[in-house]
């Protein structure tokens, strides 16, 4: 909580203590009629201190949004002392002026006849001063109410801006989460493709060993016919061998180039190499698409292959 003292609609000073603000309000009221203290809580006006006829009033909006006005009783000692001395001097001056002028109090009474009826309405100077005081208080209260309404509108605008900021942050957070999900999915796809590539490399190295074994068996007339499971691969390895492309860093790429456009070359998965030529062995379907490998050969630039 803090207090701002305004003089002629301009900020005079800011206080953390109400006592000092009230003392300055009391003193400055002698020089200007537009002096007030605004009470702030959490950045918003909560109440207003004004001074009329040497009396300090506190006004604010209650829970029912009605204006509540009450006189400030617990005043600082400096104000109480000043008010007592001022009151005594005023009493003495009034007594002297009455003795000199010999004016009766009743002489201040004015008689006014209404236009409609003959009832006599009697007013005194004190009554007119009180009326003016009430009118001024009504005007000040209306201005205070307008200020409070304006501040409430600003508060509502700030809350709306904060809600829009939260909405934008939520949309940004959702977008980031979606992008991360897509990135993770892409990483998983690349990982799966790499695993397939590694599997293809292992099968290639195993098939190369089988080709060399079969080549030696054929030269020694140990076999007459190439097994059915290897009859489509053997010619491809033979071409690589005749072109001196086996056991080179580029051999697997050259091998892929010679593969047919479809998946007609049978590549078994998890096969026992020792029983490859056993006709009773049953081999499951391959998990690798050669067409996919030929179109997606972008995992590595160098391939480690087994050499004799």
Domain annotation covers residue 146: no
7-46 residue pLDDT tens:
888 888 899 888 888 888 888 887 877 889 999 988 788 8
* Sheet containing strand 2-7, strands side by side: 10-15, 2-7, 35-41, 44-52, 55-61, 67-71
Q: Is 15 inside a domain boundary? A: yes
- Evaluate whether residue 147 is within a structural domain: no
The predicted structure's pLDDT at residue 151? 92
Give the pLDDT score at 279: 38
Evaluate if residue 276 carries a pLDDT over 50.
no
Q: Which of 102, 136, 168 is the last residue of a domain?
A: 102
Domain limits for position 87: 1-102
CA distance 232 to 228: 8
Please say which residue of 56, 77, 102 terminates a domain: 102
Distance between CA atoms of 241 and 216, rounded to whole angstroms?
13
> Does residue 252 register a pLDDT over 90?
yes
Count of domains observed in the chain: 2
Residue 129 falls inside a structural domain: no
Domain-located, residue 196: yes
Residue 71 parent element (H or E):
strand 67-71
Distant-in-sequence, close-in-space partners of 36: CB < 8 Å, separation ≥ 6 = 5, 6, 25, 48, 49, 50, 140
Task: Note the pLDDT of residue 91.
Answer: 55
| pLDDT score for 301 | 33
Average pLDDT of the residues of the chain: 75
Using CA atoms, how far residue 1 sits from 35, 38, 119, in Å, is: 20, 11, 53
The Cα 225–Cα 236 span in angstroms is 16
Q: Looking at residues 126-155, what average pLDDT do you find?
A: 80
Domain final residue, candidates 70, 102, 134: 102
- Let me know if residue 207 belongs to a domain: yes
Task: Tell me whether residue 171 is in a domain.
Answer: no
Helix, strand, coil percentages, rounded to 5, for the chain: 55, 15, 30
Question: 283 falls in which pLDDT band (50, 70, 90)?
Answer: very low
In a domain, 81, yes or no: yes
Give the pLDDT of residue 32.
79
Phi then psi dihedrals of residue 169, to 5 deg: -65, -40
Confidence check: pLDDT of 102 > 60:
no
Q: Are strands 55-61 and 121-123 parallel, antiparallel or unpaired?
A: unpaired
């Amino acid at each position: 909580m803090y207090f701002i003292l305004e003089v002629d609609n301009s900020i005079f000073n800011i206080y953390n203590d109400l006592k000092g603000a009230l003392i300055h309000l009391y003193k400055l009221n002698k020089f200007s009629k537009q002096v007030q203290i605004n009470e702030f809580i959490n950045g918003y006006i909560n109440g207003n201190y004004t001074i009329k006829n040497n009396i300090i009033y506190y006004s604010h909006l209650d829970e029912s949004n009605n204006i509540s006005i009450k006189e400030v009783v617990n005043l600082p000692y400096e104000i109480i002392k000043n008010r007592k001395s001022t009151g005594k001097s005023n009493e003495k001056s009034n007594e002297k002026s009455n003795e000199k002028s010999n004016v009766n109090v009743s002489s201040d009474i004015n008689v006014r006849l209404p236009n409609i009826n003959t009832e006599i309405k009697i007013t005194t100077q004190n009554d007119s001063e009180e009326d003016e005081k009430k009118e001024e208080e009504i005007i000040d209260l209306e201005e205070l109410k307008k200020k409070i309404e304006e501040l409430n509108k600003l508060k509502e605008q700030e809350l709306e801006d904060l809600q829009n900021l939260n909405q934008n942050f939520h949309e940004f957070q959702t977008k980031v989460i979606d992008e991360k999900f897509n990135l993770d999915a892409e990483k998983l796809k690349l990982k799966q493709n790499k695993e397939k590539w590694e599997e293809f490399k292992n099968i290639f190295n195993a098939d190369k060993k089988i080709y060399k074994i079969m080549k030696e068996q054929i030269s020694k007339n140990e076999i007459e016919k190439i097994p059915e499971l290897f009859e489509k691969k053997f010619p491809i390895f033979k071409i690589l061998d005749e072109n001196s492309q086996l056991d080179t860093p580029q051999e697997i790429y050259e091998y892929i180039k010679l593969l047919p456009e479809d998946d007609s070359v049978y590549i078994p998965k998890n096969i026992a190499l020792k029983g490859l030529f056993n006709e009773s062995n049953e081999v499951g379907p391959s998990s690798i698409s050669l067409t996919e490998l030929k179109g997606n050969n972008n995992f590595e630039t160098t391939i480690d292959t087994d050499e004799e």
